[in-house]
């Protein structure tokens, strides 16, 4: 449809403060999209109900992190004049939509979702028993996306199976009840490292649940400690003159995700770009200390304006709550309208 409205829905679980993986995988892009002027609506959902599916024993953690996530949004430059920030649990239409969509998917299909499978292992549910709510959370994500009529969903790579599941639900719904829901598409970063930034240990993806993060709100000392103390380089690169490996070298993975040619001009003028630096490392003669120092400089350049902005909003916390409340009130209207449309399509709009 040429005249289709361009609507974005994206979001995060309030399970902790946001980290560098969120920044390179999603937040940075959101700010670019916000400033592109190409979108009619940008909605950002703080998925507190979804977070409860694997944190049912700790609702206080989820509640307390909602405002931290809003602070992180405002700190990276998301502008409440241009984006709608809202809380999932305050949008009852999402619960109703989830309930209807659950009838359009099979348990066999849900069992095949590779991200959910990996998360089940990671969270120990394979041994302890799997909460049904967690098993079904991709369906609630379908409710989130469709409730806003979103056609564009910018996310990290781990979310691709969720968007696929949503598309199947939309197609099924439209087939059974008539054309009602908008078919969304995922937008993931072009840069491969940004799609799935590993943790500082270089193993799994950086994730709040794994404690392998550099948080956007970490102070400079903590950031330096994470890089110098936890990031492995090439274990065979013992002498500076030894040839080194780039593959599996976490420092270079982070440089891949973060550095630009301008960073070289500023901090490491011996090289014009990352390729030249990598070549030197491979040949031998470039020390790990120099590489780490370069990365720390780039991290500081990225994080210090974010920290400064966060401090400003922390001093005006009442305004942060107001932003969330106003965004949520707007989202109630949007999502209720979709639910009414859905009920009408299903011919269950009794009242």
Nearer to ligand ATP, 130 or 345 (CB): 130
Q: How far is the CB of 30 from ligand ATP (least distance, A)?
A: 10
Q: How far is the CB of 197 from ligand ATP (least distance, A)?
A: 4
Choose among 303, 273, 270, 301: nearest CA to 287: 270
The H-or-E segment that residue 87 falls in is strand 84-87
Q: How far is the CB of 177 from ligand ATP (least distance, A)?
A: 29
Q: How far is the CB of 83 from ligand ATP (least distance, A)?
A: 15
Nearer to ligand ATP, 117 or 312 (CB): 117
Nearer to ligand ATP, 18 or 96 (CB): 18
Nearer to ligand ATP, 165 or 343 (CB): 165
288 touches 251 (CB < 8 A): yes
Tell me how far CA of residue 311 lies from CA of 34, 195, 226, 314, in angstroms. Answer: 22, 28, 22, 5
70 touches 34 (CB < 8 A): no
Q: CB count, 10 Å around CB of 32?
A: 11
Tokens 């969720």 belong to 162
DSSP 40: S
Nearer to ligand ATP, 28 or 282 (CB): 28
Q: How far is the CB of 206 from ligand ATP (least distance, A)?
A: 4
Nearer to ligand ATP, 28 or 341 (CB): 28
Q: How far is the CB of 257 from ligand ATP (least distance, A)?
A: 8
Q: How far is the CB of 23 from ligand ATP (least distance, A)?
A: 9
Q: How far is the CB of 25 from ligand ATP (least distance, A)?
A: 2
The span from the CA of 253 to the CA of 350, in Å, is: 56
Nearer to ligand ATP, 25 or 327 (CB): 25
The span from the CA of 223 to the CA of 231, in Å, is: 11
Nearer to ligand ATP, 26 or 249 (CB): 26
Tokens 């030197």 belong to 280
**Footprint on this chain of ligand ATP (rule: CB under 6 A):** 12-13, 15, 21-22, 25-26, 155-156, 158-159, 195-197, 205-209
The span from the CA of 68 to the CA of 165, in Å, is: 29
The H-or-E segment that residue 306 falls in is helix 288-314
Helix, strand, coil shares, percent, the chain, to 5: 60, 5, 35
Q: How far is the CB of 107 from ligand ATP (least distance, A)?
A: 22
50 touches 88 (CB < 8 A): yes
Give 153's strand partners. 186
The H-or-E segment that residue 186 falls in is strand 185-187
The span from the CA of 342 to the CA of 291, in Å, is: 55
Nearer to ligand ATP, 153 or 342 (CB): 153
């Amino acid at each position: 449809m040429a005249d289709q409205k361009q609507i974005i829905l994206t979001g995060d679980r309030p399970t902790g403060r946001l980290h560098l993986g969120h920044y390179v995988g999603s937040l940075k892009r959101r700010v670019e999209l916000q400033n592109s002027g190409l979108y009619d609506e940008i909605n950002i959902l703080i998925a507190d109900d979804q977070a409860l599916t694997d944190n049912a024993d700790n609702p206080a953690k989820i509640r307390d992190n909602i405002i931290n996530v809003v602070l992180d949004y405002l700190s990276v430059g998301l502008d409440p004049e241009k984006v709608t920030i809202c809380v999932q649990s305050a949008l009852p239409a999402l619960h109703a939509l989830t309930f209807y969509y659950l009838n359009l998917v099979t348990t066999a299909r849900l069992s095949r979702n590779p991200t959910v499978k990996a998360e089940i292992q990671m969270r120990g549910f394979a041994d302890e028993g799997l909460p049904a709510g967690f098993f079904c959370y991709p369906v609630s994500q379908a409710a989130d996306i469709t409730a806003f009529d979103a056609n564009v969903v910018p996310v990290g790579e781990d979310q691709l199976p969720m968007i696929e599941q949503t598309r199947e639900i939309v197609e099924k719904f439209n087939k059974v009840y008539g054309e009602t829901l908008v078919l969304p598409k995922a937008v993931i970063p072009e840069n491969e490292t940004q799609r799935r930034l590993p943790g500082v240990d270089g193993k799994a993806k950086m994730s709040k649940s794994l404690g392998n993060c550099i948080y956007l709100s970490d102070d400079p000392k903590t950031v330096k400690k994470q890089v110098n103390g936890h990031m492995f380089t090439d274990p065979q690169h013992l002498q500076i003159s030894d040839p080194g490996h780039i593959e599996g070298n976490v420092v270079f993975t982070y440089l891949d995700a973060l550095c630009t040619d301008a960073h070289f001009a500023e901090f490491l003028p011996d090289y014009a770009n990352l390729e030249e630096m990598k070549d030197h490392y491979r040949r031998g003669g470039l020390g790990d200390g120099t590489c780490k120092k370069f990365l720390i400089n780039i991290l500081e350049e990225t994080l210090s304006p974010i920290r400064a902005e966060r401090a400003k909003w922390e001093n005006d916390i009442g305004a942060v709550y107001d932003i969330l409340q106003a965004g949520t009130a707007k989202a109630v209207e949007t999502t209720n309208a979709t639910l009414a449309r859905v009920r009408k399509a299903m011919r269950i709009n009794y009242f």
